Copies of this chain bind each other. A is one copy, B any other.
């Protein structure tokens, strides 16, 4: 912890310590380390790119205040979110001195030992910002200075980093009602970064949301039509999908509490929709409607060719005190057990055999990897498995995924990698972890005599970029 200690990233990090496997992993990694980044799903704010002059703010703005992976860990150890500058809904006082926030973060950086957030942050600080001292209490302010200095320079503007990171394509996630002005501005600007929206209609398909009516009005406004019936609701969604596609979207995304699907008759769907409009929908209505909307979305995907992503199994906002005080996305979303076998059956009965439809499944219930998801994806033509999601987007999370999914589903029924992040400068770190974990897994197959090095090299490229391009229909860019 002395000041003359240098902070370094091992060039062999994450690889097996066993020399024969490490050598193969390193050789495979060398083939993929410099490939461009394909990012088919994530939450980066497109406004970072619509204005060529956009900046990231302070180091705390960049790395702490918006990142629930980071502040949830500090909160779990007793640091109030107010002390980390997280905005309160009631406008109550929170820390505004970003150097103090940064110091608190540095004082507790040891909490991230052995965590993916710790690894991403270290990677980012060293390779994006050139930090050379370990982040700790003593070095906090000098590192703050260094990052702040970087962030003032033009080569640290979002567009410059996008190019430096060699991002081939970046897909954002956007509400169905989003007018997509930032996406339009990016295209209009003549800058050639390939940034695409993703159609996410959750706020209008969940009729139980307290703000559903406002969301519906926003949708109607964006679609430039009245929504007075289930039929007109579907038409509005269809129009918005078309608008998204015109701006390059190739995918939709659906975040659901549980992977429930259900076919409603037109009459039932209309009746529930009308109850929702009158504010009298029941919880059961909400579950049924949401289940039916996945069916409708699949049907539209068959029509318009958009890849359908389902992110299932999260208890959102588990902590009501935090929710009241700070709102959503504050580290209090907890995974739930999922039943894909029965839950998706109505959807798969209708569309599981469609070869022109792609449904990508994500879960944090790892018990379904080997029991449900791999057997389903290893059978139904329409299914692909998304990479490890959220908490499991880590070295061990990836290892468990490879272990439990690949033998049954086969690599070619998986969808490559998603970084799924809102923390733009962490993107290279996240793809680096995936590529290293992939190459290490493949090296394990090679040294156990299961695939040849030549096969592994092809598979490594597929895992790094090929499967993501193919699954998300982004191959036209090559």
Residues of A within 8 A of B (CB): 1, 9-10, 12-18, 20-21, 72-73, 75-78, 110-116, 118-119, 315, 318-322, 331-337, 339, 341-342, 345, 348-349, 352-353, 355, 364-367, 370-372, 374-381, 383, 391-392, 394-397, 400, 403-404, 406-413, 444-445, 447-451, 454-455, 458-459
Contacts and interface: CB of A to CB of B under 8 A. Distances in A.
A394 B396 CA distance: 20
Given A113-B411, A406-B115, A455-B110, A381 B76 contact: yes
B13 A448 contact: yes
Contact of A407 (B18, B333, B397): B397
B75 A379 contact: yes
A353 to B, nearest CB: 5
A379 B319 contact: yes
Contacts of A365: 371
Contact of A114 (B333, B341, B391, B450): B450
B378 A76 contact: yes
Given A17-B447, A364-B371, 9 more contacts: A16-B448, A114-B410, A315-B341, A320-B349, A335-B375, A366-B367, A367-B371, A395-B448, A397-B407
Given A371-B337, A375-B335, A448 B17 contact: yes
A74 to B, nearest CB: 10
A370 B363 CA distance: 12
Nearest to A409: B76
B371 A348 contact: no
B375 A13 contact: no
A355 to B, nearest CB: 4
A141 B388 CA distance: 39
A287 to B, nearest CB: 16
Contact of A319 (B18, B333, B337, B353): B353
A114 B374 contact: no
12 contacts: A10-B448, A16-B17, A18-B18, A76-B410, A113-B411, A318-B348, A319-B353, A319-B379, A332-B379, A334-B341, A370-B392, A396-B404
A114 B378 contact: no
A451 B114 contact: yes
Contacts of A371: 335-337, 364-367
Contacts of A455: 110, 113
A322 B353 contact: yes
A172 B321 CA distance: 36
Contacts of A380: 76, 319
B391 A454 contact: no
Nearest to A354: B78
Nearest to A119: B450
B353 A374 contact: no
B391 A370 contact: yes
Given A113-B455, A334-B376, A375-B391, A345 B370 contact: no
A238 B375 CA distance: 37
Given A113-B410, A348-B319, A397-B407, A78 B381 contact: yes
B72 A321 contact: no
B413 A76 contact: yes
A115 B410 contact: yes
Nearest to A446: B17
A138 B332 CA distance: 55
Nearest to A393: B407
Nearest to A77: B412
A261 to B, nearest CB: 14
Contacts of A451: 113-114
Given A413-B76, A449-B12, A341 B318 contact: yes
A407 B394 contact: yes
